[in-house]
Amino acid sequence: MRVAGSAAFCARLLRRQLVLGLRRPVEIGNPLLFFAMVIALFPLGLGPAPDTLAAFAPGILWIVALLSNLLTSEGVFRSDFEDGSLEQLLLAPQPLYLSVLAYVLAQWLLTGFLLGLLSPLFALMLGLETGAIPALASSLLLGTAVLSLVGGIGAALTVGLRRGGMLISLLILPFYMPVLIFGSGAVQAALAGAPAGPYLALLGAMLCLAVALAPFAIAAGLRISVDA
């Protein structure tokens, strides 16, 4: 039997994950719905005064994006772990680094990417100034990719555990904090009229670091979880 090349294998893996996701559109909609509902909680909790909401909008949008990413990260490897296909993937001759990257990319495309595209809508609902919206969308697009990669590490380490849900948040949130700082920093800079570029550049640097290193940690985590 001919062994598929690494690139072709990854492309097929990515396609499989995306098809699996698209077959269940409700599951794609859930994180977005979660995002919308949690955002709706803030005007109820903080009071509907437009000034307060607009001032808090960058932080609110970023924190809610972070939480919805946390909730979806947990399930990246779950079903493949349960039906044993993850074990097959570990035995495959193709490098695990690339296959893991395909999983994370698929997860990001179905959550963070969509969230980034829809964020201007929610930003307008919270009364964020239109000038800051490009900074918000681009910081979310860059930042959620980092979040997905880091979340993948937590998902890989906890996939074999029965009660992984609470644990993954404890493990991963400390690593989300730097992303949150620079992500909401970009939006706040844009609000203040300063260039958001430096913050976006730092998020880009974090993304490069995460793409280079996180798949190794995810692969190591998956090997440990499958051993268990």
Partner 1 sequence: MWSLFHKFGSPPWLYRLSGSILRWLLPITVIALVAGAVWGVLFTPPDFRQGNSYRIIYIHVPAAVVALAGYYVMAIAGAVSLIWRMKMADVAMRACAPIGAALTFIALVTGSIWGKPTWGTWWVWDARITSMLILFFLYLGVVALYEAYENKELAAKACAVLSLVGTVNIPIIYKSVDWWYSLHQPASIKFTGGTTIDPSMLYPLLLMIVAFYALFTCALLLNMRAEILQREQRTAWVRRLAAAGESD
> What is the contact surface with partner 1 in residues (CB under 8 A)?
153, 157-158, 161, 163-164, 167, 170-171, 173-175, 177-178, 209, 213, 217, 220-221, 224-225, 227-228
Q: 47 or 174, CB closer to partner 1? A: 174
CB of residue 178 to partner 1, shortest distance in Å: 7
Instruction: Let me know: does 38 contact 115? Beta carbons within 8 Å.
Output: no
- 188: left (phi > 0), else alpha (psi -120 to 50), else beta? alpha
CB of residue 177 to partner 1, shortest distance in Å: 6
Q: 22 or 161, CB closer to partner 1? A: 161
Closest listed residue to residue 218, CA positions, set 104, 81, 111: 104
CB of residue 86 to partner 1, shortest distance in Å: 16
CB of residue 17 to partner 1, shortest distance in Å: 23
Q: 115 or 206, CB closer to partner 1? A: 206
CB of residue 154 to partner 1, shortest distance in Å: 9
CB of residue 223 to partner 1, shortest distance in Å: 9
Q: 10 or 157, CB closer to partner 1? A: 157
Residue 111 phi, psi (nearest 5): -125, -70
Residues 6 or more apart from 97 whose CB is under 8 A from it?
Answer: 215, 216, 219
Q: 135 or 206, CB closer to partner 1? A: 206
CB of residue 182 to partner 1, shortest distance in Å: 12
Cα(74)–Cα(1) distance, integer angstroms: 35
Q: 1 or 177, CB closer to partner 1? A: 177
Q: 9 or 176, CB closer to partner 1? A: 176
